[in-house]
Structures are given as structure tokens and as C-alpha cells.
Amino acid sequence: MLKLYNGSTSVCSVKVRVGLAEKGIEWEDVLLNLPKGEQHDPEYLKLNPNGVVPTLVDDDVIVIESSVILEYVDALSSKNTLMPSDKAAMAETKVWLVRCLDIHAAINTMTFSTVMRDKILANKTPEEIEASIAKMPIPKMAAKRRDLIENGTDSQHVLSDFFTLRRMFDDMQAALEKSKWLTGDQIGLADVAVVAYVDRLERLGMEGLWQERTPKVGQWLKAMQARPSYARALERYVSAEESAATRAAAQKHWPKIKQSWEAFLRQ
């Protein structure tokens, strides 16, 4: 059986779990405790030298990068094919998969400049924080984490990632004005790849980012959340209490984010 090294609430883990559930493929979870730093264990680094989840192990094949894993999983069986067969839709899908790298970075910024920062500052000493950052194998990621913890929502990353978010919402709105799903009338790999990121923003109480300007994003999110794959990939990993606590913790950040977002949109 496929083995998925992943994190219960990690967005790119959710993304792959949604894909597996949409395909109707069973998998075995190996859940890593990310706040504890299990992704930096030397044994795990042999599977994923980037020190991140998810990693898929299919016998002797090791696949990293959530978008690549999604394509791999889709190719495993011809049942519930997610990659569109239409050439233009296929190209659009691949562009969404590439864009996920930037989208992930933006979602990481919104999460770590707000609730994760609060959690880290409340539970770790400065020495412990530095020690966990020092274990991150990619210097660029470590520098960003340090910056988000030092500066929170004042970090330079928040403003620069607004650009990614605005383009994502605008392009989603345009696509969803044409068809029910991002690349056509059937759910596809692009929908599966993006849903966890938008869902995370909603969990952070940031739905105000799309409600007025790009309302199709919210309708699409609801449609994705109503699918059985969402319950299989997300709800069974995160309790209602945990979700409510995250939303409550995020609430205090929204006024500042809203103000900066509106200023950014006026530019």
C-alpha cells in the first residue's frame, strides 16, 4: 500500500490526501509531528532532503513535492482521472501545479506571520526557536521563518505574497466564470491542487480576501468542501474544537491584514 509521510494539518499534505481520496486510492499515513521537528530527523531526510512533508513512498519509488505527488497518484490508475484530456485544459492544469510553489509560499506566510508565530512565541524560548530554525535544511526557508517570527504581519513577505494571492483569486474568478471547476465542467487536478490553500485561508478567518472582489472563489470552496474527499482528507484529521481554536486565535490578526490588503489593492 502507498505510504504517505505527512502532517495532519499541513496544507500540502491535505492537498495530496484530497487527491488520493478523489482517486479512491487507499493509503497508509505516517504522521509527522511538525512542531516537534520530526521532519528534520536524519532518517526522514533520506526520503525528503528538503525536510518537509509530504513524501509518498510506493514500494521503492519515493516521490516528493505535493504537486508532483498529485500527478504521480493520478497516473496510478485510470479510475477517476483528474488530469483533463483536453490539451488546453491540461496546459492550464500544469500551470496551476507550477504556481502552487508560489501559492504555498504565500499561505505559509499568512500562517506563520499570524497564528503559528503566536504559538511559537508562547511555547518556545528564543534559543529553542533558533535551534529549530537552524535545523531547516534550506537556508532561504530558514531566513523566511526567522523573518516571519521576528516581524509577524509587518514582514516584507506579507506584502509581496499579497501579489500572489491577488493573482490567484483573480485567475480563479475568471476561470470559474467560464466553468464550474477551474479547468472545465469536471473537477480536475487544478481544483485538487489549490483547495487546501484556500481552505487554510478560510480557517485563518481570511475569507474577506475574496468575498467581495472574487466571490466565485467562495462558492467553489464550498463545493469542494462538500465532496466526500474533503471529509476523508481533512475533517478526520482536525477536530471541530481544534478548527474553532485556530479561527479564534486568528481573529485578532484580521483587522491588520484587511487594512494592508485594502491598501495593496488601491496601489
Ligand X SMILES: N[C@@H](CCC(=O)N[C@@H](CS)C(=O)NCC(=O)O)C(=O)O
**Which stretches of the chain bind ligand X, using CB under 6 A?**
7, 10-12, 34, 39, 52-54, 65-66, 101, 104, 136
Residue closer to ligand X (CB basis): 165 or 176: 165
Give min distance, CB of 96 to ligand X, in A: 13
Please write down the long-range contacts of 44-50, taking CB distance under 8 Å and 24 or more positions apart. 44/5, 45/137, 47/5, 48/5, 49/137, 50/137, 50/138
Residue closer to ligand X (CB basis): 136 or 224: 136
Give min distance, CB of 258 to ligand X, in A: 25
Residue closer to ligand X (CB basis): 53 or 115: 53
Residue closer to ligand X (CB basis): 36 or 258: 36
CA 114/CA 112 separation, integer angstroms: 5
Say if residues 210 and 162 touch (Cβ distance below 8 Å). no
Write the DSSP symbol of residue 7. -
Give min distance, CB of 132 to ligand X, in A: 8
Residue closer to ligand X (CB basis): 11 or 198: 11
CA 135/CA 128 separation, integer angstroms: 11
Residue closer to ligand X (CB basis): 55 or 153: 55
Write the DSSP symbol of residue 184. B
Among candidate residues 54, 53, 58, 98, the one with its CA nearest the CA of residue 75: 58
CA 249/CA 89 separation, integer angstroms: 39
CA 89/CA 206 separation, integer angstroms: 29
Give min distance, CB of 152 to ligand X, in A: 17
Angle of helix 115-123 versus helix 240-251 axis, rounded to 10 = 100
Give min distance, CB of 7 to ligand X, in A: 6
CA 245/CA 203 separation, integer angstroms: 10
Write the DSSP symbol of residue 31. E
Give min distance, CB of 142 to ligand X, in A: 9
Give min distance, CB of 124 to ligand X, in A: 13
Residue closer to ligand X (CB basis): 23 or 99: 99
